[in-house]
Structure 1
Amino acid sequence: MDSTSPRSSALKFTGTESYVATDDLTVAVNAAVTLERPLLVKGEPGTGKTELARQVSAALGLEMIEWHIKSTTKAQQGLYEYDAVSRLRDSQLGDERVHNVANYIKRGKLWQAFDREQKCVLLIDEVDKADIEFPNDLLQELDRMEFHVYETGETIKARQRPIVIITSNNEKELPDAFLRRCFFHYIRFPDIDTMRAIVEVHFPGLKPALLTTALTQFYEIRETNGLKKKPSTSEVLDWLKLLLAEDLSAEDLKQTGNSALPRLHGALLKNEQDVHLFERLAFLARGQR
């Protein structure tokens, strides 16, 4: 084990200048680091789960390896893939490479993380997108930090145990055996004070009146009954960027005319059902006047 690598007990995450981390989130990150267990982070899309891993990497000065999961992703791909087709083709062509099976082994993200001389951060992003068996298929590898390569007969062990951060959008339940091996944290949607701090990071010096009016409208939208998709943190930041680009004031935002829709609502409402909902609300409001 490399003596120059930072010890887990010495690593402390406190957030960064570009990422507002709440106290409970920093406690969760540091607990997972101390326990040397994967940190499972759940929360609404757009609450900064993926960005958390990048910020932990930046704050601790560690390399980042990202494994983005799709519906077709298999756990084996995170370890390695054996390209038997290429080996067969090369054998037919008389290529000397065929005599060494290692030439046809493609290292996956876990192997890359295990092979690093220095501790790194491994992000397994949106684990719930894959098949329900996907988390179970990684139990031993994440627990023991090793796996066997059957084609070469070698056992790959982590040189330095990586900091593993796993994100989930809560689209499906994860197996109990998998959950037992993780430290869990749910990122709650930011309250208005935390959101102000987040906005200040991205848009320092924003006029208080504009910020107050914009956030008031944003939270009113999120709390509207019947909304199919609530706008997220990333979407309110996009919206504020547009408001600044259009040089709109707090008074401009308040003047919605006959529509209950906010200015530039396309940054916040992402489907026609929610747009129609606000149009119906505006119609009902006019009828009650």
Structure 2
Amino acid sequence: MAFRSTDSYIVSEQLASAVNAAVTLQKPLLLKGEPGTGKTRLAQELATSLGTNLIQWSIKSTTKAQQGLYEYDAVSRLRDSQLGSDKVHDISNYIRPGKLWQAFTAEQRPVLLIDEIDKADIEFPNDLLHELDQMAFHVYETGEHIEAKQRPIVLITSNNEKALPDAFLRRCFFHFIQFPDEDTLAQIAQVHFPDLQQKLLNEALGMFFELRHTPGLKKKPSTSELLDWLRLLLAEDISAQQLAESRQRQSAMPLTGALLKHEQDVELIERLRRVN
């Protein structure tokens, strides 16, 4: 397998090498980087390029590691016993496979995405160490031993909201997605908007990077926000000349709601514009 950029998805050589290395080593690929740099999209594109299924486990603050293996629905079993259902005699009727179980038993080697692992409790990664290392687990209620038919390709994303345990990090291949440079962003934009005029793209990227480099921003605009902004510029038929004039006059950027997500950042940009 050699994962690389496609006509519809641009990746850096470093990121492509990281994916291929993790697959070769049969280790989970831990991806970090600021939100909006395409960590989740990478898993989708990898599954598409391999012609396989993507199994996505989106982590929340309340998610427990056990839910990735299976859940035992004791409430339904109690209700069925009260109703006299014959189902209660087979406890497997109340075992609900989780995302890891689904990935382990898939007929075709899937891509398993554990998305935003740092949202969960600090013990969450440690609770998955054995299962991700051995690719197997035990179902205590039924006595079953679930073992992967073939090791799924595991991608794990983190936005660095919490530090991850060293024992967990040792079992992963790590890659930090750097924010794309202007040339790479131009390629990404052209993939999404093939009819975008070069002059408009150049002006938009110039304004975008000036905004990103503004000191004191609480949240810098990301790749996904740039694409939203470009879509709006095209929808509103804003020309490269209009952007250039706005830039020269130090006037407000059009449609900044697609780029700035905090009122403090909006106020900061307005204050700097008035000073200049």
Q: TM-score range by the shorter chain?
A: over 0.9
1:256 is paired with a residue whose SS is helix
Q: Does 1:142 align with 2:123?
A: no
Distance 1:216 1:66 in 2: 36
Superposed CA offset, 1:146-176 (max 9, x none): 0000000111000111000000011110000
How far apart in 2 are the matches of 1:26 and 1:193?
17
Q: Does 1:227 align with 2:248?
A: no
Q: Deviations over 1:93-145 (max 9, x none)?
A: 11100000000000000000001121110000000000000000000000000
Aligned match for 1:281, one of 268, 272, 276: 272
Distance between the aligned counterparts of 1:75 and 1:15, measured in 2?
33
Q: Which moved more, 1:244-253 or 1:34-43?
A: 244-253
Query: Separation in 2 of the partners of 1:89 and 1:261?
Result: 62
Q: Does 1:71 align with 2:57?
A: no
* 1:260 to partner: Cα distance: 4.2
Point out where structure 2 has 5 or more consecutive residues left out of the alignment: none
Q: Distance in 1 between matches of 2:107 and 2:50?
A: 16
- Which residue is 2:162 aligned to? 172
Of all paired residues, the percent bearing the same amino acid is 67
Task: Point out 4+ residue stretches in structure 1 off by more than 4 angstroms.
Answer: 257-260
Counterpart residue type for residue 269 of structure 2: F
Of 103, 106, 122, 1:116 maps to 106
2:8 partner amino acid: S
Aligned residue pair count: 275
Q: Aligned equivalents of 2:88 and 2:274: distance in 1?
A: 72
* Structure 2 residue 55 is the aligned partner of structure 1 residue 82: no
CA distance in 2, matches of 1:208, 1:18: 19
> 1:196-227: CA deviations, max 9, x gaps?
11011001132111111100000000000011
- Partner residue, 2:257: 266
CA contact (8 A) 1:15 1:59 kept: no
Root mean square deviation of aligned Cα: 1.1
- Give the stretch that moved more between structures: 13-22 or 109-118: 13-22
